[in-house]
Amino acid sequence: MFHGAYFFNQDIGSWNVSNLESLSCMFCHATSFNQDIGSWDVSNVIEMRYIFDGAYFFNQDIRSWDVSNVRDMVGMFSYATSFNQDIGSWNVANVERMNGMFCNAYVFNQDIGSWDVSSVKDMKCMFTGTRHFNQDISSWDVSNVNDMSRMFKNACAFNQYIGSWDVSSVKSMKEMFRGACGFNRGIGSWNVSSVTTMKGMFRGACEFDQYVGSWDVSNVIDMRKMFSGAHSFNQDIREWNVSNVKHMDFMFEDARAFHCNLSCWDVPHNRSMLSDRLSYISWPVLCFGGVFTDRSNKKGIHGDTYEYNFYSDTDDDDFN
């Protein structure tokens, strides 16, 4: 309704919106809007996606909103860069999608630890770029979530214990903690057996150094840049079953502390370490002088021995 109304900032607090089922994009990019709408009856609303997306100045008390019927909160406060109100008492039990909900809501740091998120299936980018968020969400029931990719990407203040989460339904942890430079909590007991991609999972998580050696990564296909720039990480992951991994490019690029001998790894399906010109990238540091080979095919296309290396001076930032 006010989508892109950059200068709109009028008092509409007395409006009757009780029959509306969707408020999606209502104040999207209404960059000046900051009026009191806390008394609105939103009890029939089902969709609130992007309602305050890009509403840079909005920071009003909406704690009394009845959101119990809302199913969709995708991008609700994304780029709401001033919003920091207490919404911890909201009943979000019916919400199924929270992806991008607080994406780049830079100052948001409210206690939402008591939320019932048991119906949520998608938390992709939920806290991406929340520079100040550091609340206890350890009791969340995330057992139905299947996508946690970029969930805490660049959430540089977040460092809460979430090791008790049931992540057994999660399929994507792509860039989950990328740039989460303060995160260093134990998550070694997670059941990651359903995860298929861990691409960039700890990329740039420069403080992270927790044991994850018992993880079942047997279904993971993509580990590209998984620990790239994870400067502190130096844990034993020799027991990982990486036999299904197809992509390991630059997995330990600039992982300065890492010195675990991975010569026992069997990577029969990994071909992405070959460049498009069929040159090979070696693993000299990880193998301590040995040759780390593909056990099922020790000879390359031209008869030479595979020597894989996770290190490179190139960087192909991929947001896909």
User: CB under 8 Å to 116, separation ≥6 — which residues?
Assistant: 91, 92, 93, 141
- Per-residue pLDDT tens, the chain, 320 aa: give them: 777 778 899 999 999 999 999 999 999 999 999 999 999 999 999 999 999 999 999 999 999 999 999 999 999 999 999 999 999 999 999 999 999 999 999 999 999 999 999 999 999 999 999 999 999 999 999 999 999 999 999 999 999 999 999 999 999 999 999 999 999 999 999 999 999 999 999 999 999 999 999 999 999 999 999 999 999 999 999 999 999 999 998 899 899 999 988 888 887 766 554 433 233 333 433 443 333 444 433 333 223 333 334 444 344 444 33
Per-residue pLDDT, 264? 85
Per-residue pLDDT, 4? 73
User: Which amino acid would we find at residue 198?
Assistant: M
d(CA 221, CA 226): 12
Per-residue pLDDT, 200? 97
Cα–Cα distance list, 37 to 33, 65, 247, 302 (Å): 11, 9, 49, 69
138: Cα separation from own chain's centroid: 16
User: Which amino acid would we find at residue 255?
Assistant: A
Question: Whole-model pTM?
Answer: 0.87
User: Could you count the other beta carbons within 10 Å of the beta carbon of residue 19?
Assistant: 8
Per-residue pLDDT, 237? 96
Cα–Cα distance list, 191 to 121, 165, 182, 183, 214 (Å): 17, 9, 23, 19, 9
Per-residue pLDDT, 271? 54
Per-residue pLDDT, 54? 96
d(CA 145, CA 169): 6
Full DSSP string of 79-97: T-TT-----TT---TT--B
User: CB under 8 Å to 279, separation ≥6 — which residues?
Assistant: none
